[in-house]
Structure 1
Amino acid sequence: MHNDLHVQYLLEQNQWLEDIGLKSVDTIDGFQDFIFVNRFGHVQHQGTLNKAIKRIVRDANFDALEKNPSINEDELLPNFSCHVLRHTFTTRLIESGMNVKVIQAALGHSDIQTTLNIYADVTKDLKQKQFSKFEDFIISSTPNTPKVHHFVDN
């Protein structure tokens, strides 16, 4: 249901662009038809998006504090930026099992070590989970096999 809502918002944004006659004019890494564009049809600039995020966080936190002045700070939205969203997106790609070379290309890292070094913790955790899954598979295939915990080195 939650993902359906996101899809609906994206479809509405796309329809709004059509209704006002605004078309995306940029091609980035072969991708076109962006739906978050400025009034000239160009993709939004990172600085503009960061300012918008900052305003949204400020206003949401102000509203939350106004409703409950004793609200715990960890219940407020943290300050974040587009770059944090890039890290989150990349972490989710890695967790999904996507090939790290594909992720490297998508991020524009010229060296795979850059990708692996930045996301070493999540790739290490993913390796551990993958080996645990494999171990469970082996155990379920051969009922008399004892479970042994292996820790994957980086």
Structure 2
Amino acid sequence: MATIKKYTKDNQEFYMFQAYLGINPQTGKEKRTTRRGFKTRKEARLALSMLELQADSGQLDQQPINLTFEDVYQQWWAGYINTVRESTMYKQKKVFQNHILPAFGKYRIRTITTSQVQTTLNKWFKQTDYSFKPWFNYTSAIFKYAILQGYIKDNPCTRVTMPKKLDKEDTLNFWDKDQLKTFFNGIDPVNDLEKYTLFRVLAFTGIRRGECLSLTWDDLNVQKATLDINKTLTHGDKGRLLIQPTKTKKGTRVISLDESTLLYLKKWHLEQRRMYLMLGYNINKSNQLIFATSKNTFKSLNTPSKWLRALIDDANKSGANLPSITVHGFRHSHASALFSAGASIKEVQERLGHEDAQTTLNIYTHVTEKQGQEAVQKLVNFLNF
């Protein structure tokens, strides 16, 4: 029979017990456990009684009742990391560390209620305009895993009410032709040749930020005026920068360049050689990065965003009245321009590297105000009465 003993730690009295829990059916060996840290003998006796009751009823063999949410997450994570890219793993690990585990990690997973999940979801909703749904989905994934493992029988996430912002105007994350022209007119193509070239490539090819920052000079075919998009720069574990394959199979593609964009790339190539020679770097190699730091390393993925914000601010100080967009907005702007120029859904899909046409339709449903006006004018011209 288990006995409760008193012991001293840091000049404080606590109680502990050792308990026999039967025979392990897999190993045939005795199962014993030691529990410490009880402040009173009564508290230790109550815990011992519950443990012995669970052992007698077989509950301990059916489910580990003391597993916390974080314990289950660690089990799930050990298998999950073998199914995703390092960049995806890095992003999701940060979500768990910064948001999900602080909310649920310390609680026993069987005790977490729908009310707790709803309260946390409401809090996340107020914190951000766009990221709370993935946080919620990852949380639900842990409960689903716990059900599959037999730790719990119910997922509290299935009964929450998803918060929804009402009367919120969509922010159009793209520029029309005139706005793009205004933006580029505000960049000095001589003194800021690298910035001008980088944003020109983004606007006139529609490639992603990571695809742009991973470009090397051997990706450029001057004779054919094409760019070979075959990789992307992204964050890996602990925030390190690394090169990965493109986001999808369709993402690996060859893009035709217009004459002006090709011209600026050639100008930047000459300027880069001159500049790096002065810095003591030999860049006469085919795998030289097109856009690199002054130490000839990968640029931070945040660099284009910092440049963009500063350029928009400077333009607006001069009375340009440019709405803010993200670096990804140049991809949206490119798609909008293609549609305005009469490109088909299939052509836009192929150029942007979307896996299917539905993705193109889902993302680029907005048209510019000018396109709407043109549609009305076409209708008037056709009806003509």
TM-score by length of 1: 0.51
Shift of residue 11, structure 1, vs aligned partner = 3.9
Computing the radius of gyration from Cα coordinates, the structure with the larger value is: 2
Q: Is residue 81 from structure 1 mapped to residue 326 from structure 2 by the alignment?
A: yes
Q: Which has the higher contact order (CA 8 A, sep 6+)?
A: 2
Aligned length: 113
Greater fraction of residues in helix: 1
Q: Partner residue of 1:148?
A: 383
Query: Which residue of 2 is the match for residue 56 of structure 1?
Result: 311
* 1:113 pairs with 2:367: no
The structure richer in strand per residue is 2
Corresponding residue of 2:335: 90
Give the conservation status (yes or no) of the 8 Å contact 1:25–1:41: no
Equivalent in the alignment of 2:349: 104
Pairing 1:4-43 to 2, within 5 Å after superposition: 7=260, 9-19=264-274, 20=276, 21-22=282-283, 25=287, 35=290, 37-39=291-293, 40=296
Q: 1:24 to 1:119 in 2, by over 3 A?
A: farther
1:83-105 Cα offsets, whole Å, 9 max, x none, are 11111111111212223223213
Shift of 1:9: 4.6
| Matches of 1:91 and 1:118, distance apart in 2 | 11
Q: Find the counterpart in structure 2 of residue 143 from structure 1.
A: none
Mapped partners of 2:339, 2:323: distance in 1: 24
**Counterparts of 2:348 and 2:322, CA distance in 1:** 28
2:70 aligned partner: none
- CA–CA separation in structure 2 for the residues paired with 1:9 and 1:122: 29
Whole-angstrom distance in 2 between the partners of 1:110 and 1:91: 18
- Counterpart-to-counterpart distance in 2, 1:110 and 1:121: 20
Gaps of 5+ in 1: 27-33, 66-70, 137-146, 150-154
AA aligned to 2:323 is: P
Work out the percentage of aligned pairs sharing the same amino acid. Answer: 26
The aligned amino acid for 1:148 is L
Residue 82 of structure 1 aligns to a residue whose secondary structure is coil
RMSD: 4.1
- Amino acid aligned to 2:306: K
